[in-house]
Amino acid sequence: MTNAVSMQGVRKTFGPKVAVEGIDLDIPLGSIYGFIGPNGAGKTTTIRMIMSILFPDRGELSVLGKHSAIESKDQIGYLPEERGIYKKMKVGSFLKHIGRLKGLDSHGLNATVMQWLERVELTEVYKKKCEELSKGMQQKVQFIASVLHDPDLIILDEPFSGLDPVNMRLLRGLIDELHTSGKTVIFSTHVMFQAEQLCDHIVMIHQGKKVLDDTIDDIRTRFDPRAIHIAPTAGLGIADEIGQVDGVAHVSVVEGALEVILREGMDPQTAMGKLLAAHPMNRIEIKKPTLEDVFIEIVTGGERGADAEQLRADLLAGENADSEEAAS
Partner 1 sequence: MNVSKVLRVAAREFASTAITKGFIIGALVLPAVMVLVIMVVVMVTMRSQPPADAGTIYVLDRSGEVSDVAIDRLSPEQVEQRWIATAEGIKDAAKGLIGGLVGEKANDAIDNAAQMIRYPKFRVIPTAADADIEELKAELREQVATTADSDADIETLIAIVEIDADATRKVNDEEGYGVYQAYFRPKLNEETINEIEDSVRWSIRELRYQNANIDRDTVIELSSVRARKSKEITEQGERNESSGLTNFAIPFASLMLLLMACMTGGQYLLTTTVEEKSSRVVEVLLSAVSPLELMTGKIVGQMGVGLSLLTIYNGVGIAGLVFFNRNDLVTPVTFLYIFVFFLLAYFMFASLMAAVGSAVNDLREAQSLMTPVMMMMILPYIFFMPVIRAPNSLFSTITSFVPPISPFIMIMRVSSNDPPPTWQVMAAIVLNAIAVVLFLWFAAKVFRVGLLMFGKPPNLRTLFKWIRMA
Q: Choose between 87 and 288: whose C-beta lies nearer to partner 1.
A: 87
Quote the CA–CA distance of 112 and 9 in Å, as a whole number: 40
From residue 263, how far is each of 227, 246, 253, 303 by CA, in Å?
A: 10, 9, 18, 16
- The answer to whether 240 contacts partner 1 (rule: CB under 8 A) is no
Residues 132-151 that bind partner 1 (CB under 8 A): 142, 145-146
Contact by Cβ (8 Å): 263, 247: yes
Q: Which of 7, 38, 61, 73 binds partner 1 (CB under 8 A)?
A: 73
Residues 18-57 that bind partner 1 (CB under 8 A): 48, 51, 53-54
- The answer to whether 316 contacts partner 1 (rule: CB under 8 A) is no
Q: Which of 2, 16, 17, 88 binds partner 1 (CB under 8 A)?
A: 88
Q: Which of 4, 10, 60 is nearest to 205 (CA)?
A: 10
- The answer to whether 271 contacts partner 1 (rule: CB under 8 A) is no
Please give the single-letter amino acid code of residue 151: P
Q: Which of 9, 39, 70, 215 binds partner 1 (CB under 8 A)?
A: 70
Q: Choose between 9 and 103: whose C-beta lies nearer to partner 1.
A: 103
Interface region with partner 1, contact rule CB under 8 A, candidates 34-42, 98-106, 263-271, 317-325: 98-106
Smallest separation, CB 82 to partner 1 (Å):
4
Q: Which helix (H) or strand (E) holds 135?
A: helix 135-147
The DSSP code for 102 is: T
Contact by Cβ (8 Å): 319, 291: no
Give the CA count within 13 Å in the CB-facing half-sphere of 143: 30
Smallest separation, CB 72 to partner 1 (Å):
11
Q: Choose between 2 and 106: whose C-beta lies nearer to partner 1.
A: 106
Quote the CA–CA distance of 74 and 85 in Å, as a whole number: 19
In this structure, the strands spanning 32-36 and 201-206 are: parallel
Quote the CA–CA distance of 207 and 287 in Å, as a whole number: 28
Q: Which of 5, 61, 85, 258 binds partner 1 (CB under 8 A)?
A: 85
Q: Which of 24, 28, 39, 100 binds partner 1 (CB under 8 A)?
A: 100
Quote the CA–CA distance of 220 and 267 in Å, as a whole number: 16
Quote the CA–CA distance of 159 and 157 in Å, as a whole number: 6
# residues near partner 1 by CB under 8 A = 28
Q: Choose between 38 and 151: whose C-beta lies nearer to partner 1.
A: 151
- The answer to whether 98 contacts partner 1 (rule: CB under 8 A) is yes
- The answer to whether 216 contacts partner 1 (rule: CB under 8 A) is no
Burial of 236 (C-beta count, 10 Å sphere; 0-12/13-18/19+): middle
Q: Choose between 139 and 296: whose C-beta lies nearer to partner 1.
A: 139
Q: Which of 89, 211, 266, 311 binds partner 1 (CB under 8 A)?
A: 89
Smallest separation, CB 201 to partner 1 (Å):
23
Strands, E, within 84-200: which ranges? 153-157, 184-189
Q: Choose between 23 and 141: whose C-beta lies nearer to partner 1.
A: 141
Contact by Cβ (8 Å): 75, 153: yes
Smallest separation, CB 299 to partner 1 (Å):
27
Q: Which residues bind partner 1 (CB under 8 A)?
A: 48, 51, 53-54, 70, 73-74, 76-78, 80, 82-89, 97-98, 100-103, 142, 145-146
